[in-house]
Amino acid sequence: MHYLVLFILLCSGTLLSITLIDYYQHQRDGFLDSVQKSLQCRTLRERLVTMTTIKKVDIALFSQEVRELMNCPWRLNLTHRELYRTELWSCCNASDRLMVTRQNTNLNQSLSYEIHRWKKRKVDQALWEMLPQTVPWSKGSLSHCAVVGSGGILQNSSCGAEIDNADYVIRFNLAPINKSYDVGVKTDLITANPSQINKGYTDLQRNPGHLAEVLSFYGHADLLLPAFSSASGTAPCFKVYHALRKARPQQEVVFFHPDYLFELGRFWRHRGQRARRLSTGLMLASTALEICEQVHLYGFWPFPLDLSHNPLPHHYYDNVGPNRRMHTMPEEFLLLLQLHSQGALQLHVGPCTLIPTP
């Protein structure tokens, strides 16, 4: 009888120690895995931050690295975030002059165009009356911002809920929001560009209904237009302003300040960007970096294949190519990836996890 009890005790003891040894081995392996992974993540971040250009880089290999980086945990680095924010504030000051306002502009002064600096536009009484009083925010006054690019990478991304969870959402070029499961619907600021207006909205004076309807989808969002980037853009932007004043009087229509965009271009050129002009995406990502506590970017991925090598359309809503003469999207993407690696902002490439970020 005693022997049997002893035997059972011995057996269960052995079993227990085997289980325990197994358990600790798993723990140790898990621990070693996570140490190795965090080392790999660190090495990867350091490598990306020191890259100076994306030309001559094998895009398949680069995609693989971006995929690994997206699996690495992201942590805000306050030091880097504050550094960029302060530098952007002192060079460009979005909180004062992202847009032309009565506060930052005097009646009868001249504005220099962003691209052709020697060309000027006088702020006469009529223009002055079109301007808002002030910019509606100050440095760091918004908390969680989402900047939503229009890249095909947003197709089937399931990012909509995460985007709508932000406090302030910026979109571009009147991008449609009817694929809401992937792109969300919340919109606080949206841009339109003059060539799009000329092409899509002819005869606005007599027929503003279509534009008014398109804008009604974005609810209370402000419409931001580059009226003073090149001289040819002024007339179409003013037409939009006047058409909407009649058809949708509650719609805020505001104009980018050309000095803000000019200084921002100079800021990033000093940090290695070579393009003639920044894309509107990088412009407003920079604005967000200055005015928001947390910046999340979606829909920024300028390559024709996704991270698993499936083909992508140019935009999540159409397949019309970008203006290659003006912008160098891959170089801008590298810059954004570096800001992500440094912990200044968070870039989302590929599908969103369904757990909302706190």
Ligand X SMILES: *[C@@H]1O[C@H](CO)[C@@H](O)[C@H](O)[C@H]1NC(C)=O
Which residues are known catalytic residues? 327
Is 90 among the residues that bind ligand X (CB under 6 A)? yes
Other residues' Cβ atoms within 10 Å of the Cβ of residue 247: 18
- Options 74, 140, 155, 330; binder of ligand X; rule CB under 6 A: 155
41 is a site residue for ligand X (CB under 6 A): no
Residue 77 in the binding site for ligand X (CB under 6 A): yes
Q: Which of residues 276-315 bind ligand X (CB under 6 A)?
A: 310, 312
Q: Which two tokens stand for residue 108?
A: 């009868």
- Count CB atoms within 10 A of the CB of residue 22: 10
Report, in Å, the least distance between residue 251 CB and ligand X: 17
By CB under 6 A, is residue 64 in contact with ligand X? no
| Angle, alpha carbons 45-48-54 (nearest 5°) | 160
Residue type, 125: Q
- Residue 328 in tokens: 């160098």
Binding track over 171-210 against ligand X, x by CB under 6 A: -----x-x--------------------------------
Nearest distance, CB of residue 111 and ligand X, angstroms: 15
- Considering the complex, state which of residue 89 and residue 275 has its C-beta at the smaller distance from ligand X: 89
Please report the sign of the dihedral spanned by the C-alpha atoms of residue 226, residue 227, residue 231, residue 235.
Answer: positive
**Which region among 15-23, 85-93, 278-286, 344-352 touches ligand X (by CB under 6 A)?**
85-93
> Quick check: 156 binds ligand X (CB under 6 A)?
yes
Size of residue set near ligand X by CB under 6 A: 17
Report the nearest approach of ligand X to the CB of residue 238 (Å): 19
Nearest to ligand X of 122, 276 (CB atom): 122
Interaction of residue 87 with ligand X, rule CB under 6 A: no
DSSP 4-39: HHHHHHHHHHHHHHHHHHHHHHHHHHHHHHHHHHHH
Q: How far is the CB of 171 from ligand X (least distance, A)?
A: 13
Please state the closest distance from residue 122 (CB atom) to ligand X, in A.
9
At CB < 8 A and 24+ separation, what contacts does 306-311 make?
306/63, 306/152, 306/153, 306/350, 307/63, 307/66, 307/67, 307/70, 307/349, 307/350, 308/67, 309/60, 309/63
Window contacting ligand X (CB under 6 A); options: 28-36, 60-68, 89-97, 142-150: 89-97
Determine the residue with CB nearest ligand X: 96
Residue 169's contacts (CB-CB under 8 Å, 6 or more residues apart) are 145, 146, 148, 163, 184, 186, 187, 188, 189
- DSSP three-state, residue 357: coil
List contacts with ligand X (CB under 6 A): 77, 79-80, 89-90, 93, 95-96, 107-108, 152, 155-156, 176, 178, 310, 312
